[in-house]
C-alpha cells in the first residue's frame, strides 16, 4: 500500500459503468414492474444508489461483495492509513492490475478518491437514473462488439480455451487493441463519431497502455472468461453461465421487495412519494417550521453578538485614545507605539465585524424572504380550503348609504383602550350593535366620546360609608399600609373599590403576593415607586416610573383585599 495513488477519472467512470450494467440487469430481470421508459430510469437510479426496495449496487462494489469480490485483492490494513475507519473487517481492497490496466500503481478502496461518495456524485450532484440507464446500454453495446473480437482470438471450434502459449491477459489485450482501432481511441461509438482524425492513424501497436473502452470492466468481470465465474442474462449469448432462479424464489423475492416498498411508503416512480396521509404532511410541515424557527433564532443571535463585539471594540477604541493622549503628554514613545499597534488591530477587527455584519444581514434577509415554506404550502394546497385568490379583496366595500353616513360624521378621537383588528377573534364583530346604531337626528353615538382620553390619573370619589354631620371631619380614605402608598397607587385602589361595589371581580389575591412584598420594601425605604429602584435581595429592577406604578397598584389590590377579608 506504500505506492497507493489517487484514482484517475477514467477508472471512476468505468466503475460507474460497471455498476450501471448490473442495474440494467436488475431492471430487465424485474421487467421494470411494467413501467415505461421513465419508470425504468427511475428504477435503475434506485438500484444504483439504493432504496427501501433495492439494495445499492454501488455499496456492494465498494465493500467488495458478491461478484465484485473477484475484482480485488485483500491485504491486511496498515496503521494510520486513510480510510481505515471504513474497513470494518480488518482488510483493505486493492484493485487488480488486470482490471485497472496499470501495473505500476495500486488503487485502494476508501482512499485517494476511491470512495462511495466520489462514485455516486458528479460535480456535487448525485448521478440520476437517466445517466445510469444510458451507461448500461452503452456498456451492453460495446460488450457485444468486444465479444466478436474474443471469438477471433479464441475460436469456438478450438478445444482449448486459449491459443497455445496465450492466456487471459493476452486475450484482454487483443480485445482492447481492436476496440481502440474501431472506436478511434474513444470510449464508445458516440465518441468515435466525433473524432476527426483519419481511422488509418489508429494502429494496434499505438494503443496507450492504460486505454480501456466503456464496458471493459464489465467484459472482465462478466465476460466469456469471467473473473466471477458467471455472466449476466443481458450479456449471455446462449444463457450459459447465467444464474438460474426458480419461480418460487422469484415470487418470494418480489414479495419481500413489495413489503419493503410499502413499509417505507415508496410510491410510484415519480419525484415524490404518493399515498401520504394528512398527518404525515402535517409532521413534515411542523418539522420544517421548527427548523426555520431555529435558523432565524440563530441568525438573530449571531447578529446580536456581532453588534455586541462591535460595541466593545468601539468602547476599547475610546479607552485607547484616552491612553494615547496621556502617553503623549508624558512623551512616552514606547507606550504610544504599543497603543497605536493595538489601535490598528482594533481597526482591522472592526472592518472584519462590519463585513461579517453585512453578510449576516444579507443572509437574514434571504431567510426572512423564505417565510413561506414549501412544506406548509403543500399542506395548505392538499387541504384546499385556505387558499384566497389574489385578485379578491377580503374587505367588503361599503354601500352608498354607508358612505354618506361616514362622510357626514365628524372625525372622532381614537379611544385609549383600543384593540387591533388582528387581535380580535375572526367570528366577532369589531363594533357592538349598540355602538353601530345612530340617533334619531342622524348623528352617531360616537360623538359623545369626543373628549380626549389621556393617560392621566383619574381620582374616583369612593362611596360614602356613613353620613357625615355638619362640622365633622370626613373619615380617612386609607388606613394602615394603604395610607403610605403614593397617590398613583391610591387612585388605582379607589378604582378597585368601585369595581367591587359594582360586583366586578378584581382577581386572585395570590397573584400579587411576590410583587406586594417587594413594593412594601420599596415604600418602607421611602422610594414610593417614583424612580428606578434596584433591590439586591429581591433581584427586581424597575426601569421606569410606569413599572413602579403598576407594581404599587398591584400592592394596593393585595392589601386592600386582605383588609376587606379580615
Residue in the block written with cell 508624558: 330
Q: Which of 128, 175, 138, 133 is nearest to 153 (CA)?
A: 175
Model pLDDT, residue 164: 84
Q: How confident is the model at residue 412 (pLDDT cuts 50, 70, 90)?
A: very low
Contact between residue 105 and residue 6 where contact means Cβ atoms under 8 Å apart: no
- Out of 176-190, 253-267, 422-436, 515-529, which region has the weakest mean confidence (pLDDT)? 422-436
Cell numbers for 39: 419508470
Give the relative orientation of helices 9-29 and 37-49 as an angle to the nearest 10 degrees. Answer: 120
- With a cut of 80, say whether residue 322 has pLDDT above it: yes
Number of residues in the chain? 566
- With a cut of 50, say whether residue 152 has pLDDT above it: yes
In angstroms, the CA 66 to CA 35 distance is: 27
pTM, full prediction:
0.49
In angstroms, the CA 39 to CA 27 distance is: 10
- With a cut of 70, say whether residue 258 has pLDDT above it: yes
Cell numbers for 284: 413534515
Which residues, including other chains, have CB under 8 Å from residue 209's CB and lie 6 or more apart?
101, 102
Model pLDDT, residue 414: 42
The Cα-based distances of 40 to 23, 36, 59, 132 in angstroms read 10, 6, 20, 10
456-500 confidence digits (pLDDT tens): 444 444 444 444 444 455 566 666 656 666 666 666 667 666 766
Model pLDDT, residue 147: 93
In angstroms, the CA 242 to CA 236 distance is: 7
Give how far the C-alpha of residue 106 lies from the chain's centroid of Cα atoms, to the nearest Å: 40
In angstroms, the CA 537 to CA 539 distance is: 6
Q: How confident is the model at residue 429 (pLDDT cuts 50, 70, 90)?
A: very low
In angstroms, the CA 182 to CA 188 distance is: 9
Model pLDDT, residue 528: 45
DSSP string covering 367-418: HHHT-S-HHHHHHHHHH-SS---TTS-SSPPP-HHHHHHHHHSPPPPPPSS-
**Region 222-247 average pLDDT:** 84
Strand 125-126 relative to strand 534-535: parallel, antiparallel, unpaired?
unpaired
27-79 confidence digits (pLDDT tens): 887 765 567 888 888 889 988 998 766 778 999 999 999 899 999 999 888 77
- With a cut of 70, say whether residue 442 has pLDDT above it: no
Enclosing H/E stretch for 432: none
Amino acid at each position: 500500500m506504500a505506492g497507493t495513488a489517487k484514482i484517475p477519472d477514467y477508472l471512476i467512470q468505468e466503475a460507474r459503468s460497471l455498476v450501471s450494467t448490473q442495474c440494467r440487469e436488475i431492471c430487465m430481470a424485474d421487467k421494470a414492474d411494467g413501467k415505461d421508459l421513465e419508470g425504468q430510469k427511475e428504477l435503475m437510479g434506485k438500484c444504483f444508489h439504493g432504496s427501501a426496495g433495492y439494495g445499492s449496487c454501488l455499496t456492494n462494489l465498494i465493500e467488495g461483495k458478491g461478484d465484485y469480490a473477484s475484482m480485488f485483492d485483500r491485504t491486511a490494513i496498515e496503521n494510520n492509513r486513510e480510510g481505515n475507519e471504513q474497513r470494518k473487517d480488518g482488510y483493505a481492497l486493492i484493485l487488480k492490475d488486470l482490471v485497472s490496466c496499470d501495473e505500476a500503481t495500486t488503487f485502494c478502496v476508501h482512499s485517494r478518491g476511491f470512495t462511495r461518495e466520489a462514485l455516486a456524485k458528479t460535480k456535487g450532484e448525485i448521478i440520476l437514473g437517466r445517466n445510469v440507464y444510458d451507461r448500461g446500454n452503452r456498456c451492453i453495446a460495446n460488450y457485444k462488439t468486444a465479444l466478436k473480437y474474443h471469438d477471433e482470438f479464441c475460436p469456438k471450434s478450438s478445444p482449448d480455451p486459449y491459443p497455445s502459449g496465450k492466456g487471459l491477459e493476452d486475450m484482454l489485450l487483443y480485445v482492447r487493441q481492436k476496440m481502440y482501432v474501431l472506436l478511434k481511441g474513444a470510449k464508445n461509438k458516440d465518441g468515435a463519431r466525433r473524432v476527426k482524425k483519419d481511422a488509418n492513424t489508429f494502429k494496434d501497436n499505438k494503443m496507450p497502455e492504460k486505454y480501456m473502452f466503456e464496458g471493459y470492466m464489465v467484459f472482465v468481470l462478466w465476460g466469456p472468461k469471467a473473473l466471477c465465474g458467471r455472466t449476466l442474462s443481458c450479456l449471455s449469448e446462449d444463457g450459459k453461465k447465467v444464474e438460474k432462479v426458480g419461480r418460487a424464489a422469484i415470487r418470494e423475492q418480489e414479495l419481500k421487495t413489495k413489503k419493503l416498498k410499502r413499509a417505507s411508503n415508496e410510491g410510484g416512480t415519480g419525484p415524490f412519494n404518493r399515498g401520504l396521509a394528512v398527518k404525515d404532511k402535517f409532521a413534515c410541515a411542523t418539522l420544517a417550521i421548527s427548523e426555520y424557527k431555529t435558523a432565524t433564532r440563530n441568525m438573530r443571535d449571531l447578529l446580536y453578538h456581532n453588534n455586541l463585539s462591535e460595541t466593545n471594540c468601539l468602547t476599547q477604541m475610546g479607552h485607547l485614545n484616552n491612553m494615547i493622549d496621556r502617553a503623549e503628554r508624558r512623551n512616552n514613545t514606547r507606550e504610544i507605539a504599543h497603543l497605536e499597534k493595538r489601535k490598528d488591530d482594533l481597526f482591522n477587527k472592526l472592518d472584519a465585524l462590519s463585513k461579517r455584519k453585512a453578510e449576516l444581514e444579507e443572509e437574514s434577509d434571504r431567510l426572512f424572504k423564505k417565510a413561506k415554506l414549501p412544506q406548509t404550502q403543500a399542506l395548505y394546497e392538499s387541504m384546499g380550503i385556505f387558499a384566497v385568490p389574489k385578485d379578491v379583496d377580503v374587505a367588503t366595500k361599503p354601500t352608498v348609504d354607508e358612505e354618506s353616513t361616514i362622510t357626514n360624521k365628524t372625525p372622532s378621537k381614537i379611544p385609549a383602550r383600543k384593540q387591533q383588528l388582528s387581535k380580535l377573534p375572526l367570528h366577532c364583530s369589531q363594533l357592538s350593535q349598540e355602538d353601530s346604531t345612530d340617533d334619531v337626528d342622524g348623528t352617531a353615538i360616537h360623538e359623545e366620546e369626543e373628549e380626549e382620553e389621556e393617560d392621566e390619573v383619574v381620582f374616583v370619589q369612593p362611596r360614602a360609608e356613613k353620613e357625615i354631620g355638619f362640622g365633622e371631619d370626613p373619615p380617612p380614605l386609607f388606613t394602615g399600609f394603604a395610607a403610605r402608598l403614593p397617590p398613583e397607587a391610591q387612585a388605582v385602589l379607589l378604582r378597585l373599590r368601585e369595581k367591587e361595589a359594582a360586583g366586578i371581580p378584581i382577581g386572585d389575591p395570590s397573584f400579587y403576593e411576590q410583587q406586594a412584598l417587594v413594593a412594601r420594601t420599596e415604600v418602607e425605604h421611602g422610594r414610593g415607586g417614583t424612580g428606578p429602584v434596584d433591590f439586591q435581595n429581591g433581584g427586581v429592577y424597575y426601569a421606569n416610573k410606569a413599572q413602579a406604578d403598576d407594581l404599587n397598584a398591584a400592592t394596593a389590590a393585595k392589601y386592600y383585599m386582605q383588609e376587606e377579608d379580615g
